[in-house]
Amino acid sequence: MKRMMKRKKESDPRTIAMYVSMVTIVINLLLSVFKLTAGILAHSGAMISDGVHSASDVLSTIVVIVGVNIAGKKSDKEHPYGHDRMECVAAIILSAMLMATGIMIGISGIRKIASGSGEETVIPGLLALAAAVLSIMVKEWMYWYTRAAAKKIHSGAVMADAWHHRSDALSSVGAMIGIAGARLGYPVLDPVASVVICIFIGKAAVDVFRDAMDKMVDKACDDETVRKMKESAMEVMGVKQIDDIRTRMFGAKVYVEIEIAAEGNLVLMESHEIAENVHLSIEKHFPDVKHCMVHVNPLPGSETQKNDRECL
């Protein structure tokens, strides 16, 4: 019994999200301190920018924790459909934070390039290059680690945080190239790397924002998913055809409304049983579906409709 309860707790979305978030917070704190220190000691603007980006990941992960916990709250009188969209709100906040970070880093790099003298002429030390390589390895691992958790619990906010880690890994690649180029005799490449980092971060911010907005405005599922839902419904005994199906994203979850056709001479209990089986089949085969509503229509040309026409 204790083992069953433990497995249930370990598979709880909020528990998984909390655990993953705490791991990433600790790693990001250590990594950002190391990169900022390396950037200062080795005189690398690109590494300092990269360290600021890692530090922003800590705040973004806190936003994820808050968003996932609120989204996991049960339905109440004021929110009968639950709080799932709070994950989208968290993801939108993350995208804004990403964009702001990218803009600040880009402006800093452009100013150094435009100045033509001073800080950008300093050759970065070897410590900055080592910090960039370490950051690439750690942040890429964090991306795959967080991405796996996001897929397991179907969380858009956690997936957004994973992309935040990927953008940090890409920014570290830019920093590494800039630092290496500066050490080879092209010091301007260090601030140029900051501008490249800005572009990567901005692209990640836009992707996260678009995904969150799609889920906020009830976007339909993709055609392939809808097709598979129809196939699942048609496999239920008594279903003769699919008259209509509509889907909508609600945060990380999906709501489905489907109209099926059955023989018109069925009694109410038989029609209800068919509808219930379709409902259960859809929710069983598609874990993201929070609720499936089924409406049963009489099959065109069925016995009931023939009798109705004869009476007329």
What does the pLDDT read at residue 124? 77
2-216 is classed CATH 1.20.1510.10:
yes
pLDDT band at 111 (very low <50, low <70, confident <90, very high): confident
Cα–Cα dist 258/279, whole Å: 9
The pLDDT mean for the chain works out to 78
Question: At 256, which helix (H) or strand (E)?
Answer: strand 253-262
pLDDT for residue 117 is more than 80: no
pLDDT for residue 304 is more than 70: no
pLDDT for residue 5 is more than 90: no
pTM: 0.58
223-311 is classed CATH 1.10.260.30:
no
Instruction: Give the pLDDT mean for 60-75.
Output: 72
Residue 19: which residues within 8 A CB-CB, separation 6 or more? none
Residue type, 193: A
pLDDT for residue 42 is more than 70: yes
pLDDT band at 252 (very low <50, low <70, confident <90, very high): low
Question: At 130, which helix (H) or strand (E)?
Answer: helix 126-153
For the record, the structure tokens of 239 come out as 């279903």
Radius of gyration (Cα) for the chain, nearest Å? 27
pLDDT for residue 187 is more than 70: yes
Point out which residues pair with 296 in neighbouring strands. Answer: 260
Q: Give the position of tokens 């496999």.
A: 235
pLDDT band at 9 (very low <50, low <70, confident <90, very high): very low
pLDDT for residue 274 is more than 90: yes
Domain ranges of the chain: 2-216, 223-311
What does the pLDDT read at residue 7? 45
pLDDT for residue 307 is more than 50: no
Distance of alpha carbon 3 from its chain centroid, rounded? 31
Question: At 244, which helix (H) or strand (E)?
Answer: strand 241-250
Angle between helical axes of 126-153 and 13-41 (0-180°, round to 10) = 170
Q: Which of 24-33, 71-80, 225-234, 250-259 has the lowest mean pLDDT?
A: 71-80
The CA–CA distances, whole Å, from 49 to 40, 56, 74, 107 equal 11, 11, 41, 11
Instruction: Give the pLDDT mean for 263-290.
Output: 89
CB 148 within 8 A of CB 12: no
Pairing of strands 253-262, 289-298: parallel
In three-state secondary structure terms, 261 is strand
267-279 residues labelled b (16+ CB within 10 A) or e (exposed): eeeebeebbebbb
